[in-house]
């Protein structure tokens, strides 16, 4: 089955840039989505189809995807960005299923 690997944690100072990676075999050939989840809350979609943002998501959130790595970039990090972040793909190479990444805890110092 397809596996998505994320770093367990990323720490960043306010105002700086956080980059969260999502590694998978030839992930660049798939559409990657990113979710933000704060404690006790449901996940929220922040980037879809590699680099598009839903309405209401700040431009500070951006995404890219190439080769074996997709990246979520949070610019000008704010305290409110502290959360868990998950990448996701739909895999239809052998069967049809979604895969979530292992998740990354972003800590704002």
Binding mask 61-90 for another protein (x = CB under 8 A): -----------------------x-x-x-x
Does the protein bind another protein through residue 97 (CB under 8 A)?
A: yes
Pair 18, 10: CB distance under 8 Å = yes
Does the protein bind another protein through residue 57 (CB under 8 A)?
A: no
Q: Shortest approach of another protein to residue 20 CB, angstroms?
A: 14
* Cβ partners under 8 Å of residue 67, min gap 6: 26, 27, 28
Cα dihedral across residues 13, 40, 33, 87: positive or negative: positive
Span from 12-20, 21-29, 43-51, 73-81 in contact with another protein (CB under 8 A): 43-51
Nearer to another protein, 33 or 106 (CB): 33
Q: How far apart are CA 17 and CA 9, in angstroms?
A: 14
Chain residues binding another protein by CB under 8 A are 1, 31, 33, 35, 37, 42-45, 48-49, 54, 84, 86, 88, 90, 92, 96-103
């Amino acid at each position: 089955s397809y596996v998505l690997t994320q770093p367990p944690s990323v720490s960043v100072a306010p105002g700086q840039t956080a980059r969260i990676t999502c590694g998978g075999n030839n992930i660049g050939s798939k559409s990657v989505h990113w979710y933000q989840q704060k404690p006790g809350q449901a996940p929220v979609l922040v980037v879809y189809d590699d680099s598009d943002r839903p309405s209401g998501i700040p431009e500070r959130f951006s995404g890219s995807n190439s080769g074996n790595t997709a990246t979520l970039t949070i610019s000008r990090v704010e305290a409110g960005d502290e959360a868990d972040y998950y990448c996701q793909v739909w895999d239809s190479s052998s069967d049809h299923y979604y895969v979530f990444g292992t998740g990354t805890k972003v800590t704002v110092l």
